[in-house]
Structure 1
Amino acid sequence: MPGGIRNRRRQTLSSESALERRLGGVDATTVGIGSMVGAGVFVVFSPAAAIAGNWLPLALAIAGVVAYCNAMASAQLATVHPTSGGTYIYGRRQLGEWPGFLAGWGFITGKVASCAAMALAFGLYAAPEFATAAAVAAVVLLTGVNLMGITRTAWATRWIVSIVVAILVFVIVVAFDAEPIGQNLPVDGASPYGILQAAGLFFFAFAGYARIATMGEEIRDPKKLIPRAILAALVVTLALYAVLGLALLDFMGAGLLAATPAPLLAVGEVVGGGVGTTAVTIAATLACLGALLALIAGVSRTMFAMAREGDLPRAFASVWERFKVPYLADLAVAAVVIFLLLTQDVLAVVGFSSFGVLIYYAVTNVAALTLTERPWQAPKALNWLGLAGCLVLAFTLPLSSVLTMTAVLAVGLLGRAVLKPGRRRRPHA
């Protein structure tokens, strides 16, 4: 093969450069919704009702307020730093290298575990007897979609979200219309602490709006479209969760809802029999795929940003020129997720990722506090409220989750200190 052709092919696969802005506002919003309407919407209501009881709507409202504060902080920062990496970049540029690294490392390690759990959830819905094999196949397939370019990711997510939301709306309508099957009796053990724990469950179920910010380098007119997409995705998802929660409470009551591990399946079975159950199963399966697709893209973009800044091996900053994707980062995420699926009980280890997500958003709010120019609808009080909310929810987590993720974060920070001693913050224009 002539040397010139060989060199051009090598350059096509391994050049380190910027990504390409190919996503519009609708695409970005769709990716955000796809990240938030994942498997969580099908399973979160039962454990939340078990600890919050009839106060379930209040728990959802608390989660919504914290999510809104975090979303506004992300939107503010995205207008100042419209590039890939999300809070890793925001923290790095507003606060310094170490806070940025803390956010990025927490996001990557936590969300890789979430990817594995989401893939396994897909396997359990799609092929219960071969769940792990189905999960691995899903990771391979969706990584292939991501490698074909961010527009393919957005296109696939758009179709998935459309089908899932349509089926969820069907469940909402029939739940409100059908004769209630449970009584709205108090749940034993419901307490203010339980309400906060339930708020934490809801927060982690729809905390996917960060995916929009992590892909900031691939969105056209990011200063205008990223804030709009983040808020639009959050509003749509919160509305969907709120109406669905009220419908389930009306149909089942808090007691029966708490005792039903898969309440949406129960609604489908009671109202539509086999057809209803099949529809909900399809929606759950597709929701897992949509969330996993967006998760892989978001984690790989954060890896890309960290590699470009030297906080991860530089190879992960390589961009496939044909499709303008960080292909080595995508492949690395897939490899780690598959490794976890084959070697770990991912449903057991994923709990620690919640603490990592809260650290990520805590850094987001602190970074937003340093901004001098801000719109009237985003005062500093929102950032303080978001920071406080993150800390409160963090300390309602099980101690084992907090300690495990703290150890993971410490290992990352120690590794960076050893591998990059004395490195000073790189100035940015």
Structure 2
Amino acid sequence: MLLLRSGCAHARTPLAAADQRAGPSLSGRTPWHRPPVAAVVAYCNAMSSARLAARYPASGGTYVYGRERLGDFWGYLAGWSFVVGKTASCAAMALTVGAYVWPGQAHAVAVAAVVALTAVNYGGVQKSALLTRVIVAVVLAVLTSVVVVSLGSAAADASRLDSGGFGGAGGVLQAAGLLFFAFAGYARIATLGEEVRDPARTIPRAIPLALGIALVVYAAVAVAVLSVLGTKGLGQAAAPLADAVRAAGVPGLAPVVRVGAAVAALGSLLALILGVSRTSLAMARDRHLPGSLAAVHPRFQVPHRAELAVGAVVAVLAATVDVRGAIGFSSFGVLAYYAIANASAWTLSWAPASRTLPTFGLLGCVILAFALPRASVGLGAGVLLLGVVAYVVRRRVAAR
């Protein structure tokens, strides 16, 4: 459940960065009546993913859906987009953990977090699920405290929720593209089709439920934080929730909030590594990635080689990259992934009503992807092109 993806000590958060891009229009004049563009696109994507998961309850998510509905190339491109985009997300989350736990040694802490969570995932999805439950309980308790303290303080002012003015369509779209980073967690549910009970029934229910809970939590936190910080204060905040409780007159709660943020980032990192390794497993089975990554541990029933490979790559990135660039690149890759998911869902039925959400989702993903900062678009498009070249070369070598 993400808290946050809400900030770190030395780098502005997706929310703060997006707020600066879009101004008051990020939240809207009345945020509880006007959902962010990112959330609307995420809803379309979630419903498309849920329909596809019911039809194809197998590990790999949209890699499998694209392959089955659109052809081998589109499945491969979806898998490649997911793996590279979510690997960048892993690095961003690991660095967020490091920045909250020990700002002066953020990269070292990030690497240690990756190693520890890779070990947890190696022990099986049941252990990962148990740890996730604990993390969610801690995060919800912290978020509830922030909302209650902020809205109950004398510093809360409802007028800050209506700052007036808008940052323009370009700013709104770029903000939505950056914020999509925080709404894309439900994708990982679909990658676990072979490791849950009754996946054809469980996964389609879990995806919209997960998105719905996240939307409610984000809306409550957004209203609470904006009421005490305002749009300008939020845009300048390095750690928005900690700043909010200080502004609300309860500075003693700030350390607790920082711990909660670190725990939340750990939860996101845990699930991210889990999802990337399962998509890598599916791609390895089809020889789009080295076949050795398709091995499943005889005792723990997890793709242990894929787990270790993903953990190693993420550890290297966490030791070297910057969190801000990772967020934009991640959003581009994941938006490309969901564009293919929506295109796949569009083929499930000829009924116009069944194609409405996939159509909006597909268009939304494309628009948001190319509304991201130019550096993110250029790097993301370049990495996707590299994946296409690798696919073509592999096919030609195989044909010979």
TM-score (norm 1): 0.85
- How big is the shift at 1:188? 7.9
Return the offset for 1:363.
0.1
- Which sections of structure 1, spanning at least 5 residues, go unmatched? 1-33, 425-429
The letter of the residue matching 1:62 is: V
Q: 1:137 aligns with which of 80, 102, 112?
A: 112
- Does structure 1 residue 385 correspond to structure 2 residue 367? no
* 1:419 match: secondary structure: helix
3-state DSSP of counterpart to 2:349: coil
Q: Which residue of 1 aligns with 2:204?
A: 227
Where do 1:27-426 residues align within 5 Å?
A: 34=1, 36-40=2-6, 43-58=13-28, 60-180=35-155, 184=160, 186=163, 190-271=167-248, 273-372=250-349, 379-421=354-396
Q: Which amino acid aligns with 1:221?
A: D
Deviation at residue 350 of structure 1 after TM alignment: 4.2
Deviation at residue 335 of structure 1 after TM alignment: 0.7
Equivalent position SS for 1:160: helix
- After alignment, is 391-400 or 88-97 more displaced? 391-400
C-alpha separation between the residues in 2 aligned to 1:48 and 1:355? 15
For residue 259 of structure 1, report the CA deviation from its aligned partner. 2.4
In the alignment, residue 322 of structure 2 is paired with which amino acid? Answer: D
Comparing 339-348 with 131-140, which one deviates more in the overlay? 339-348
Distance in 1 of aligned mates of 2:47 and 2:71: 21
Considering only CA atoms, is the larger Rg found in Structure 1 or Structure 2?
1
Is the partner of 2:155 in helix, strand or coil? coil
Q: Would the alpha carbon gap of residues 132 and 71 (structure 1) be closer, same or farther in structure 2, given more than 3 Å must change? A: same
CA offsets per residue over residues 232-280 of structure 1, 9 Å max, x none? 1000000111111111222222222222232211122234644311111
Which one is further off, 255-264 or 318-327? 255-264
Q: CA deviation at 1:153?
A: 0.4
Q: What is the CA–CA distance in structure 2 between the aligned matches of 1:339 and 1:107, rounded to whole Å?
A: 18
Aligned pair in 2 of structure 1 residues 390, 373: CA closer, same or farther (>3 Å)?
A: same
Residues 367/233 of structure 1: CA separation in 2 closer, same or farther (3 Å cut)? same
1:103 and 1:360 in contact (8 A); partners too? yes
Contact 1:50 1:187 (C-alpha < 8 Å) held by counterparts: no
SS in 2 for 1:261: coil
Contact 2:110/2:319, CA 8 A, preserved across alignment: no
TM-score by length of 2: 0.91
Find the aligned partners of 1:291 and 1:191 in 2 and give their Cα distance: 32
Q: Name the structure 2 match of 1:3.
A: none
Amino acid at match of 1:127: W
Root-mean-square deviation (CA, aligned residues, Å) is 2.2
Residues 244 and 126 of structure 1, relative CA distance in 2, 3 Å threshold: same
**Higher mean C-alpha displacement, 190-199 vs 54-63:** 54-63
> In structure 2, what is the Cα distance between the partners aligned to 1:272 and 1:81?
51
Seen in structure 2, the aligned counterparts of structure 1 residues 143 and 87 have a Cα distance that, compared at 3 Å, is same
- Amino acid in structure 2 at the alignment position of 1:68: Y
What is the alpha-carbon distance in structure 2 between the residues aligned to residue 62 and residue 423 of structure 1?
43
C-alpha distance in 1 between matches for 2:3 and 2:47? 20
Is the alpha carbon distance of 1:113 and 1:341 closer, same or farther for their aligned partners in structure 2, counting shifts above 3 Å?
same
SS at 1:39's partner residue? helix
- Percent identity at matched positions? 47
Query: What displacement does 1:346 show?
Result: 4.8
1:389 corresponds to which letter in structure 2?
A: G
Q: Give the drift of 1:380.
A: 0.7
Please identify, of 36-45 and 310-319, the stretch whose mean Cα deviation from structure 2 is larger.
Answer: 36-45
Q: How many residues align?
A: 388
Are the aligned partners of 2:349 and 2:355 in contact in 1 as well (CA < 8 Å)? no
Distance change (3 Å), C-alpha of 1:294 and 1:38:
farther
1:111 positional shift = 1.1
Unmatched 5+ stretches in structure 2: 29-33
Distance 1:344 1:52 in 2: 26
Contact 2:90 2:314 in 1 (8 A): yes
SS of the residue corresponding to residue 184 of structure 2 reads: coil
1:27 corresponding residue in structure 2: none
**Do the aligned residues in 2 keep the contact of 1:355 with 1:394 (CA within 8 Å)?**
yes
Q: 1:75 to 1:409 in 2, by over 3 A?
A: same
Shift in Å at residue 116 of structure 1?
1.2
Please give the alpha-carbon distance, in whole angstroms, between the structure 2 residues aligned to 1:335 and 1:379: 41
CA contact (8 A) 1:37 1:237 kept: no
1:252 and 1:128 map into 2 onto residues whose CA distance is 23
Contact 1:52 1:191 in 2 (8 A): yes
CA distance in 1, matches of 2:390, 2:246: 51
Amino acid at match of 2:104: E
**CA distance in 2 between partners of 1:237 and 1:408 (Å):** 30
